[in-house]
Amino acid sequence: MHHTTLAIFGLPGGFEWIIIAGAALLLFGGRRLPGIARAFGQSIVEFKKGLHDVKGQIDDADTETKPHVLPKNDDNDTKS
């Protein structure tokens, strides 16, 4: 059932990953492939940091734009 879910979304399976890795090895060579993978990993980390920063800015802007509401006073002795 797990493989069926992946096939529905069009994600590559086990043998397809082997073909992709072989094609990458042929295109880039054995010496450049680790550097390319490292650069790809670093770019993903930078993307996630940027995404986290944007979410933080949105949350900060959201808290700044909310109106400040005073809590209700339930004490009856304040009424004259």
Q: Which residue would you say has higher pLDDT here, 7 or 49?
A: 49
Question: What pLDDT does residue 60 have?
Answer: 83
Residue 2 — pLDDT band, cuts 50, 70, 90? low
pLDDT tens digits for range 25-66:
898 888 888 898 899 999 999 999 999 999 988 888 877 776
Secondary structure of the chain in HEC code, one letter for each residue? CHHHHHHHHCCCCHHHHHHHHHHHHHHHHHHHHHHHHHHHHHHHHHHHHHHHHHHHHHHHHHHHHCCCCCCCCCCHHHCC
